[in-house]
Amino acid sequence: MGPITLSRQDWLYGAFLISAVLVFGNGFHYLMFRLLHKQQSEQRGRSLGIQKYLAWPVRGVFLSVGLRIILPLVPKIPALLLDRLEQLVECLLVLFIGWLALGGVYVFQALMLMRFDTSVADNLRARRVHTQMQFFRRLLIAIVVLLDAGALLWSLHDARLWKFGTGLLASAGLASLVLATAAKSTASNLIAGMQIALSEPIRIDDVVVIQGEWGRIEEITSTYVIVKIWDERRLVVPLSYFIEQPFENWTR
């Protein structure tokens, strides 16, 4: 089979389709976020970070979906090239959807924390919710990343690549078992984080005494806690310490 030649009309038609995707995708994106910004300005409430966390991934989703729709309409594209282009666009779409889901986690956190202000005098419930949301945000992000990686493997058209991805996942699973056995402290810290989020032995801004050091809980991550000492030093304490060792909580 000889090489496929594209006429000038075919080139113009293909360029028109791609330009239409860019124009309509960006136009719809502009109108949607313009309306969201206007609505949020009228409410005069705390910013949810919609523009910051969702604007770019939504634009990528719109453009990827548009390209996936118009690719079969472009004339005289070889079947093998069309399949590779569709696979590339689908992979980009999966990545943009994952990015959008990550942004959605931050927007969801901001939405949940809007009614809980830690700067007021009676802020016990607010500090409790802020502490729990920090842990659950990190947990949701880990779940989104895993699901997006799995969806990316499913979007591959080539059976050889699919087998490679499946083997990679199996190797990662085996490696995770080995690492979990070797890194017991890390696993215990993760489990301790869930226990702290639910049972609340400490909360953000609690006053604690740890090994003779007096300070306030400044940050609770998925593996450690930052305690702001009275003299402005920072004490980094593993999460498992607050489950396994005694400490003083003056706030409680």
Cα–Cα distance measured from residue 105 to residue 137, given in angstroms and rounded to the nearest whole number: 7
Cα–Cα distance measured from residue 37 to residue 131, given in angstroms and rounded to the nearest whole number: 29
DSSP conformational letter for 2: P
Residues 60, 180 within the same domain: no
Query: Do the beta carbons of residue 73 and residue 62 sit within 8 Å?
Result: no
Beta carbons within 8 Å of 56's beta carbon, 6+ residues apart: 99
Residues 160, 102 within the same domain: no
Q: Quote the tokens at residue 117.
A: 């202000």
The whole-model pTM stands at: 0.67
Residues 128, 250 within the same domain: yes
Residue 208, domain extent: 120-252
Task: Give the end of a domain, one of 114, 140, 157.
Answer: 114
Cα–Cα distance measured from residue 103 to residue 55, given in angstroms and rounded to the nearest whole number: 9
Query: Do the beta carbons of residue 242 and residue 201 sit within 8 Å?
Result: yes
Residues 74, 102 within the same domain: yes
Query: For each of the chain's 252 residues, which pLDDT tens digit applies?
Result: 445 555 667 677 778 888 888 898 888 888 888 888 777 665 555 567 788 899 999 999 999 999 988 888 877 778 888 888 888 899 999 999 999 999 999 998 888 887 777 666 667 677 777 777 877 888 888 888 888 887 787 777 666 555 555 555 555 555 555 545 545 555 566 676 777 777 788 888 899 999 889 999 988 887 789 999 999 999 999 888 888 889 999 988
Element (H, E) at 150: helix 124-154
